[in-house]
Amino acid sequence: MSQTSPRSASSARPRFHAQFQSFEETADGSTGPARLAALRAELARRGIDGYVIPRADAHQNEYVPPGEERLAWLTGFTGSAGLLMILPEEAALFVDGRYTLQAATQVDEAAFTIVPLAKTTPEKWLEAHLPKGASLGFDPWRTTLDGREKLARAVAAASGVLVAVEGDPVAELWLDRPPAPVAPVRLLDAVLAGASVAAKLEQVRTALAKDKLDGALISDPHATAWLFNIRGGDVAHTPLPLAWSLVPQEGRPQLFIAAEKLSNAVRDVLAEVADVRPEQDLEAALSAFAPGRTLRLDQATAPVRLAEVVERAQGTVAKGADPISLLKARKNAAEIAGMRAAHLRDAVALTRFLHWFDGAAPSGTLTEIDAVEALETFRRDSGLLTDVSFPTISGAGPNGAIVHYRVTRTSNRQIAPGELFLLDSGAQYPDGTTDVTRTVSVGTPTDDMRTHFTLVLKGHIALARAVFPEGTTGAQLDPFARQFLWAAGLDFEHGTGHGVGAGLSVHEGPARISKLGHVPLEAGMILSNEPGYYRAGAYGIRIENLVLVTPQLVAGGEKPCLSFDTLTFAPIDRRLIATDLLTAPERQWLDAYHARVAAEVAPLLDAAARAWLEAATAPLV
């Protein structure tokens, strides 16, 4: 495809955004209210007054297989986080600030009440609404240990009864539910992994010994994929094989995975380092291992059902953090090199897109879907794109104010002159994962647009320039990005940054930069820097780069310090910058960043795109 042809970009059929349909557009014709009535009847048949439906599978994955989209099937809400409380006369859908506007467009509010988490928690709502003596059911496979504890306290406060429900009542009604995925597993190249399975097992066992544990049940498939250097395709946007593993302090680990996912060659390699068993053996294996032993279960992902198996077998559940989570977050040299290569490749695709968009958008003929398809096509031109890392957020004008807006054929909007266009996207390549947001002006921006954009930019720069002592948490850094918005009486209702995996999930724990980020940042972690501002009904602004935590030598300093190295290379729209609001150090940072973008990316472009990039990254006047 030519770098400068808008038609070749938008007309190529994309692989990963093929339908742009909402869940309700692809459903069987029955409505949310009808399904809710049927579920209440099924619960009544079982003698249960209420029921909790989290947006989760048995692993608490962010992206789940189609057959696990219970919340979407029942309500129409397709966000990646949410929880539904169903009582005999009420049904409350709890969503965070990212999804408040989206939920209102997808859910029938005559049947479901949308409750923002900023207003109240599900547990507080339950205390006030659960009738005295009523029973509340929960799914022990899709409820975590922490989740059960919160529910138990709320139900007790309401003088109700909490009941673990065997047999999924939603599955009883979802007659055309898609089957479980069985995508083939592939081995991760040793050059990309940077460490052998044996070396990683030694790290895990060291962590187990430190906590005096006999073993760990690994319920997060990302952790299992990292440990065994495998990748798969069981969920969208993350190269993930759904699997469980059991890692003892001594002896061989056990990997539980559907046999259909493994070729003979892959199975043979895995069998050298682990006992490979079918998923159906998991409960029996836990029962055999547990007696007299203390086993770590991840409080954030392990299902209640498996904790009960351990306890019935006279084992001890040590609830806590998955020992792999922190190890996986600290990227090794090979993983960092892969991420740098992926980001440079992605920068070329994004710059080609921005060049094309800058010429095509002012005509007013492009739509949000055109932009998504074009960007994906530019990325596919690399020959290495394996998936997008999340559904692209392509928001024109007021749609940009919906933080996690997902364009559908129904909501698709033309990109009009005089508007802002927010594009939050990412890619999966064999060597790394990307996530980048740019907000661009279509035509001439208003003074308000430029002011708000510059306040967001100042926060982005403040965080990018931060130097901080080891032990600093994301919660301590979060105000760096908000301070200028706060001074203007503004804010944004999402975290400033999330962790990012190396060729795994675009959203990775345990560290994050937010009011709730209580894990210290460490060298080797990769996180996003993405402050924003959203004016409902008008426009959204977000500027996002990924950053690598690196050691920082401070002359005369007494404490070891860290700083951020920016991995993302893409121009920031200079037309939206009110330069009089920037300080000299802020201008210097932006000019230096743009100079680096030009130096890294320009040599990889054709003449027309190179000339555009040179203008887009010119120093501020």
20 pLDDT tier (thresholds 50, 70, 90): low
Q: What is the DSSP string of 367-431?
A: BHHHHHHHHHHHHHTTS---EESS--EEEEGGGGGSTT----TTT--B--TT-EEEEEE-EEETT
CB count within 10 Å of CB 318 equals 19
**Is cis: bond before 510, omega within 30 of 0?**
yes
Give the Cα separation of 308 and 26 in Å (integer): 37
Q: Is the pLDDT of residue 12 over 90?
A: no
- For the cut 90, the answer to whether the pLDDT of residue 99 exceeds it is no
Q: Which residue, 311, 265, 259, 298, is CA-closest to 281?
A: 259
pLDDT of residue 26: 40
Residues 274-296: tens digit of each pLDDT: 999 999 999 999 999 999 999 99
Report the pLDDT value the prediction gives residue 105, as an integer from 0 to 100.
87
Contact 97, 516 (CB under 8 A): no
Strand 294-298 versus strand 316-320 pairing type: parallel
Q: What is the mean pLDDT of residues 203-227?
A: 98
Q: How far apart are the first and last CA of the chain?
A: 35
State the CB neighbour count (10 A cutoff) for residue 294: 17
Is beta strand 186-187 parallel, antiparallel or unpaired with respect to 161-164? unpaired
| Residue 5 or 250, more confident | 250
Confidence of residue 15 (pLDDT cuts 50, 70, 90): low
What's the sign of the alpha-carbon dihedral 533, 536, 539, 540? positive
- Bridge-based pairing state of the strands 230-231 and 113-116: unpaired
d(CA 526, CA 343): 12
Q: Average of pLDDT values for 550-566?
A: 97
Q: What percent of the chain has pLDDT over 90?
A: 91
User: 364: burial class by Cβ within 10 Å (0-12, 13-18, 19+)?
Assistant: middle
For position 13, what pLDDT does the model report? Answer: 45
User: pLDDT band at residue 22, thresholds of 50, 70 and 90?
Assistant: low
Q: How confident is the model at residue 574 (pLDDT cuts 50, 70, 90)?
A: very high
State the Cα–Cα distance between residues 3 and 608, nearest whole angstrom: 8
pLDDT of residue 493: 92
Q: How many whole angstroms separate alpha carbon 537 and alpha carbon 137?
A: 39
Task: Say if residue 592's pLDDT is above 70.
Answer: yes
CB 346 within 8 A of CB 322: no
Q: Which of 252-266, 346-360, 399-413 has the lowest mean pLDDT?
A: 399-413
Q: Are 439 and 541 in contact (CB under 8 A)?
A: yes
Token pair 């798969």 in the structure block, residue? 232
pLDDT tens, residue by residue, 307-328: 999 999 999 999 999 999 999 9
Q: What is the pLDDT of residues 112-167, one digit of tens each?
A: 999 999 999 999 999 999 999 999 999 999 999 999 999 999 999 999 999 999 99
Q: Is the dihedral of CA 49, 54, 56, 58 positive or negative?
A: negative
**Can you tell me whether residue 279 is helix, strand or coil?**
helix
The band of 253, judged by pLDDT with boundaries at 50, 70 and 90, is very high
Q: Identify the pLDDT of residue 30.
A: 58
Phi/psi-derived region of residue 567, left when phi > 0, alpha when psi is between -120 and 50, beta in every other case: alpha
Q: Is the pLDDT of residue 27 over 50?
A: no
The pLDDT value recorded for residue 397 is 98
What is the C-alpha to C-alpha distance for residues 115 and 493, in angstroms, rounded to an integer?
15
Lowest mean pLDDT of 96-110, 162-176, 598-612, name the range.
96-110
Tell me whether residue 130 is exposed, middle or buried, using C-beta atoms within 10 angstroms of its C-beta: 0 to 12, 13 to 18, 19 or more. Answer: buried
Say yes or no to pLDDT of 200 above 90: yes
Instruction: Quote the tokens at residue 298.
Output: 């991840």
Q: Would you say residue 247 has pLDDT above 90?
A: yes
- Check residue 426 and give its pLDDT: 98
Q: What is the pTM of this model?
A: 0.93
- Say if strands 508-513 and 427-429 run parallel, antiparallel, or are unpaired: unpaired
Please state the rounded mean pLDDT for residues 39-45: 97
Average pLDDT value for residue range 606-614:
98
Rg (CA), the chain: 25
Query: Higher model confidence: residue 25 or residue 286?
Result: 286
Which of 190, 182, 189, 193 is closest to 262 using CA atoms? 182
| Type of residue at 311 | E
> pLDDT (tens digit, 9 = 90+) per residue, 472-524?
999 999 999 999 999 999 999 999 999 999 999 999 999 999 999 999 999 99
Mean pLDDT of the chain: 94
